[in-house]
Structure formats: C-alpha cells, structure tokens
Chains A and B, each alone.
With several copies, the nearest count.
Chain A
Amino acid sequence: MNETNVMNAARHSPEEFLIATIARLLGGAGHVAVGALSPIPGCAALLARELGGGRPRVSIIHGDANNPFTDGGRELFDCAGQGRIDVFFLGGAQIDGGANINLVGAGGYPRPRKRFPGSFGSALMYFVVPKVILFAPEHSRRVLVKKVDFVSAPGTSPPEVRRPGGPTALVTGLCLMAFDAATKRFRLESVHPGHTVEEVRDNTGFDFDVPEDVPETPPPDADRLALLRTKIAAEIAKTYPDFAARVFGHVTIA
C-alpha cells in the first residue's frame, strides 16, 4: 500500500469505502434493484446513478422513496423474471467457493444449530438477474465456508436449467472477488487498503484463484465522498434514516 492510499483511507469510513467499491461495479447497468435491509448497496446504487447522470435506474423495495413498485410484493420478482433488472444484491450467512449461498441455518436441517432468518427471494433472484453481487461485510471462515450447510440458492446450474442470471462478484470487508460460472470458482480481484492476500486467504474457508498481481481496491476520491455525504446521504435517509444518521451524520427533517 502506498502513501497516497493510506492518506485516502484515513479520510473515509468503512461503509463509505464499501459503498464506493460496490458503486464501481454498477457502471453500464440499466436497472439496479435493491432489496430490503441493504443500505450499503442502496447507497452504492444511488451513487452510481448520480455519477451516471440518471443511469442506472435505481429501485429500492424498502419504503416509498425510489420505489416504483405499485403491484404488490410480487412485483420485484416478476420484474426480475421479465429480465428488467440487471443488478441485484444478495447476502449469505454462509457463502461457499461455488458461490452457493445459505440464508437458512448452520448445522442440520430442519433443526439447525443456529437458525438464520431464511432464504428471502434468493432462490429466484439468483437465477434470473444477470449480475448478482454478493455482499458479505464480515469476511471470516464462519461466513465464507468450504461448503454451505444448506443451499438457499446454488451458485451455478447444469446447462438444462434455464438460468440467465447468477453471481458475478463478491464484496467483503477485506476484498473484491469475481465469480466465474464456467470454472465455478472465485478469483481475487483486489484487496482493500490495509489488508493483504494472506489475510484474505487465512479468513476464507474455500479455495479461490489468486492472480500474480493483486491490486489494491481503490478508495473513494474526494468528489465521490462529497457526493456521498450530501446528495446520497439525503436520498438514502428517505429509506434508511437510522443508517444515514449513523454513517453520514445526516439528520432527516420530517
């Protein structure tokens, strides 16, 4: 890590860094949809829209702001099934090296040792959205496992299964990885400032490809940070007032 990046890194919060990292993955997309409880992906999508002069279109299903859906809870999924959503975000209480995700529980099923909330819409969205970005802030062997205990949604499918979509990237607190559906493996794309390839390896339960040269994930520049703390903070506050207050110090005026 060079001097400049250390200085840049000091000027932003971890959330701001992740937002900028995810936003960089959204260039060129036409329509980014953001599910419930996703303030960081939500900010990333709004930042990308701001930088793109209104493109991508951003739809946030939580709340009424930036929410175009007027046909009930099914519309997000119908919309994805129609092929109108280019990018979506999924988490995973467990994610394995084949990009299988588990949102259901650790240990046995149906009586897991530790129960998670459940699969939400993953078992459809993962199949039909062309670019699904996995987001796992906690980069640990607890989350990034060798093999998930329950497949909420598989990372890849056999050729006879209609699957226009799937995972393309994984963003964690340590690094950015790309997923290749052909090899069914992740590849390390960049490591966040202040962290190392070794650290990523030590904290990852699955095997992944590492190119000879692994760049550092660039930190957000001053312009982006300024945008985030003003326009984006005000916009996301309509959906996530608590998050906006905590991360940007943005107080919503009712």
Chain B
Amino acid sequence: MTSLEDLDQLAARVPDGALLALAPDYSWVPMAAVRALIRRRVKGLHLLAVPISGLAADMLIGAGCVGTLEAAAVSLGEAGPAPRFSDAVESGAIKMRDSTCPAIHTALQAAEKGVPFMPLGGLVGSDLVSHRDDWKVVDDPLGRGGGPIVLLPAIRPDVVMFHSPRADVHGNVWIGRRRELMTMAHAAKSTLVTVETVEDEDFLADDATAAGTLASLYVTAVAKAEGGAKPLGLAGYYERDLAHIRAYAKEAATAEGFKRYLAREVLGQPARAAS
C-alpha cells in the first residue's frame, strides 16, 4: 500500500546507483525531492531524462550524484545551456548515453507492457545508433521487405519521482494531462511522489477525476512538499521562476559558482524550497 512519509524518508528510498527517471522541467519535476537527494549525498545514479531534462539533471550532475546520464537533451530552455551538464560531458565526469525523445518513450512503453523490446521508426543512419550497443538494427523481422528497423530494449527504472498538485488519502495521484508520468510509473519498480496537498477524497470514484489519476497501485510513497516543484513551475498552480533559473545559469557557469548556489539554496536549507 502507498506510504505517506516526509521528504527525507522519501529521498532515502533512492539507493545509490539507482536508475532514476525524471520528467522534463515543464512536467511537474520534484525539485524539493531533488534537493533532498543532493543533501543525502546520493551517488552513482543512472539518471534517465524522460526524455529531456534541465535544472533537475544539471543540479544532480553538478552535485556529483550522477554516474550515467541517458537523455535526448539537457537544457535550461530560455535560460540557455545547462552548464554543469555541458561541463561534465566535456570533461568526461559522467558517462553520457545519448538518445532521442521517442526512443526513451518507446523503451519505457516496452517496460510498461512487460516486453523485452519495441521497434521504432527513423533512427537508421543516426550516429546515436552507432554509439548505443544496446540498440539493434535488424532487417524487417516480419519478413515483408519493410527494410531495416531499430529495436530498443525495455528500460525499467528503479525509481520514478515526480511532484503533483494533489494526492488523495488512498494514495491516488492526480497527473492531469501529464500522461508521461503514468507511463513512467507503470514502467518503474517504484514511484515516489511529492504533492502540494493530500485530499480526503477518492479520485477514482468520479469519472471526471479518474481520467487524470494514477492509481495508488503504482505509487510506492507520497510525501507532502508545498511548493515542491519550485523554482520550476507546476502548470496550472504556479509559474516557474525564470529569474531564479537565469541567475542559476549564470552562477553555475563555473564549478565554484555552482558550489555557492548549492551551499546557499540546497545544503544550507534542509527544509526550505528554493524560490
């Protein structure tokens, strides 16, 4: 059954070396939990961006939590390149597994269905394929002359984390139109969710809310974290703080600047959200 706990308990559920999946910066990213992970000094994560990331990945990389990064892209969007990511790849500090958005979605769908692989169109001739020893180009296995196609092995995350505006007391979590969160949770071994509020309701009891709900069946633990996506936004609830992200981009351009940011916004403030 779904466990209701505090942020540090939640963060303790992510073991060193875990394959941790995070959604893009616009998709309800659990920044408070990310900061809690950094505070607990998690190490050697295999971080999977589904399919891209930004501030969350950049901070985890900068803080030395990431061993391998699999992503279609990492960027701070309007605030420019992700400085700790670029630096870590250029210096070889992390192992980069470059992917492309639909390949990550597809590999998670394979895990969601419990099949060992799924095919995907395109890709053939991209250098992405030649650098991925897990992807396999095969000649149309149906034998119908369909030409070469790439098979992508399933990706089954150890942990999926996200932040939602609302859970109910039964552990059901509202995901709205953020359906990538559902695929991620289905594919993962465990799913940890921070929320703004826990409501005394049953989201599954009404067709209108059920449609946007991830059932507690897939939710390992829920922790309350008000403002838990800040300084990123929570679509429909609060806007991201673009000034904060721009200031981060500037400060984190150097390793020293990033350390300052970390000390001030993360390590120095165990309980407070950055904003």
Contacts and interface: CB of A to CB of B under 8 A. Distances in A.
A161 B124 contact: yes
A73 interface: yes
Contacts of A210: none
Contacts of B50: 73
- Give the most central of B1, B123, B236: most A CB within 10 Å: B123
30 contacts: A37-B77, A64-B236, A68-B204, A70-B214, A71-B186, A72-B179, A72-B182, A73-B101, A77-B101, A77-B105, A79-B186, A79-B217, A81-B115, A84-B217, A104-B127, A112-B90, A115-B86, A117-B75, A118-B74, A118-B99, A119-B72, A119-B100, A120-B72, A123-B100, A123-B126, A126-B122, A128-B121, A150-B127, A153-B125, A161-B148
A71 B121 contact: no
A116 B71 CA distance: 12
Interface of B: 1, 23-24, 26-27, 50-52, 71-75, 77-78, 81-82, 85-86, 89-92, 95-96, 98-103, 105-106, 109, 111-115, 120-128, 131, 146-149, 172, 177-183, 186-187, 204-205, 207, 210-218, 235-236, 242
Given A70-B177, A70-B214, A128-B121, A115 B126 contact: no
Interface centre among B75, B98, B115, B212 (most CB of A within 10 A): B98
A178 B26 CA distance: 34
B82 A117 contact: yes
Contact of A82 (B23, B74, B114, B120): B114
B147 A162 contact: yes
Contacts of B122: 123-128, 153, 163
Contacts of A128: 114, 121-122
A90 to B, nearest CB: 12
Interface string A210-247: 00000000000000000000000000000000100000
A21 interface: no
Given A36-B77, A109-B131, A161-B147, A70 B102 contact: no
A73 B78 contact: no
Contact of B90 (A62, A113, A153): A113
A74 B110 CA distance: 13
Grouping DSSP codes into helix (H, G, I), strand (E, B) and loop, the B interface class, with mixed when no group exceeds half, is: mixed
Given A70-B213, A74-B183, A118 B71 contact: yes
A3 interface: no
Interface in A106-141: 109-128
Contact of A67 (B103, B109, B146, B204): B204
Interface string A66-95: 011111111101111111100000000000
Interface residues of A, number: 62
A119 B73 contact: yes
A151 interface: yes
A160 interface: yes
Nearest to B203: A70
Given A111-B89, A121-B102, A124-B120, A64 B210 contact: yes
Nearest to A121: B101
Contact of A122 (B27, B85, B91, B100): B100
- Name, among B146, B172, B217, the residue most crowded by chain A CB atoms within 10 Å (CB to CB): B217
B112 to A, nearest CB: 5
A120 B127 CA distance: 14
A161 B125 contact: yes
A55 B125 CA distance: 34
A77 to B, nearest CB: 4
Contacts of A81: 102, 112-115, 121
A152 B148 contact: no
Contacts of A122: 100
A205 interface: no
Contact of B113 (A72, A78, A111): A78
